[in-house]
């Protein structure tokens, strides 16, 4: 945790960029849902559909956080999410996703917290002891050193 926190603009930029990855996922998931439940779209089905898309998003995000600590957007913005113990586990990734959702539903309190926090931690990350790392200046372990 001694590494410097990334600037807030990069954290928010990553969130916006994440939508570019999630929208196609939602479109495919929506097509599958409508294919199986065509003509079955009432008030209750809309709620089920929204929960379904929330779960699909959660599967994508938690899988990425567990696997490498980075989603597609986080790779583009050179950010990585970790806990004090290393990469997130599936339970901790799902807790992060649920807490982030609750923070968003409560008027974006997690994001407002990041504006006022010196280290730019979102409220849910501070509670769960997760933090972002700026990986622009760290070489990937998969890169091979150049031969002379």
Instruction: Tell me, yes or no, whether 145 lies in a domain.
Output: no
**What would the pLDDT profile of 115-128 be if each residue is shown by its tens digit?**
998 888 999 999 99
Instruction: Tell me, yes or no, whether 49 lies in a domain.
Output: yes
Counted domains in the chain: 1
pLDDT value, residue 142: 47
**What would the pLDDT profile of 87-135 be if each residue is shown by its tens digit?**
999 999 999 999 999 999 999 999 899 999 888 899 999 999 999 998 8
Query: pTM, whole model, 2 decimals?
Result: 0.85
pLDDT value, residue 58: 98
Range of the domain at 65: 8-134
pLDDT value, residue 104: 93
> Could you tell me how far CA 71 lies from the centroid of its own chain?
7
Instruction: Tell me, yes or no, whether 46 lies in a domain.
Output: yes
Instruction: Tell me, yes or no, whether 140 lies in a domain.
Output: no
The owner of tokens 């982030």 is 100
Instruction: Tell me, yes or no, whether 19 lies in a domain.
Output: yes
> Could you tell me how far CA 83 lies from the centroid of its own chain?
14
Instruction: Tell me, yes or no, whether 18 lies in a domain.
Output: yes
Percent of the chain whose pLDDT exceeds 90: 67
**What would the pLDDT profile of 4-17 be if each residue is shown by its tens digit?**
788 889 999 999 99
Instruction: Tell me, yes or no, whether 143 lies in a domain.
Output: no
Instruction: Tell me, yes or no, whether 50 lies in a domain.
Output: yes
User: Per DSSP, what are the bridge partners of residue 131?
Assistant: 82
**What would the pLDDT profile of 29-87 be if each residue is shown by its tens digit?**
999 998 888 766 677 888 889 999 999 999 999 999 999 999 999 999 999 999 999 99
Mean pLDDT, the chain, rounded, equals 88
């Amino acid at each position: 945790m001694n590494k410097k926190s990334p600037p807030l603009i990069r954290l928010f930029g990553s969130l916006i960029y994440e939508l570019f990855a999630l929208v196609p996922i939602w479109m495919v998931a929506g097509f599958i849902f409508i294919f199986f439940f065509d003509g079955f779209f009432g008030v209750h089905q809309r709620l089920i559909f929204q929960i379904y898309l929330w779960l699909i998003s959660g599967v994508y995000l938690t899988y990425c956080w567990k696997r490498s600590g980075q989603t597609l957007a986080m790779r583009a913005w050179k950010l990585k999410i970790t806990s004090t113990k290393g990469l997130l586990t599936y339970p901790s990734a799902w807790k992060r996703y649920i807490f982030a959702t609750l923070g968003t539903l409560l008027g974006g309190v997690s994001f407002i917290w990041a504006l006022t926090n010196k280290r730019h931690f979102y409220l849910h990350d501070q509670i769960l002891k997760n933090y972002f790392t700026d990986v622009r200046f760290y070489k990937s372990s998969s890169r091979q050193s150049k031969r002379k």
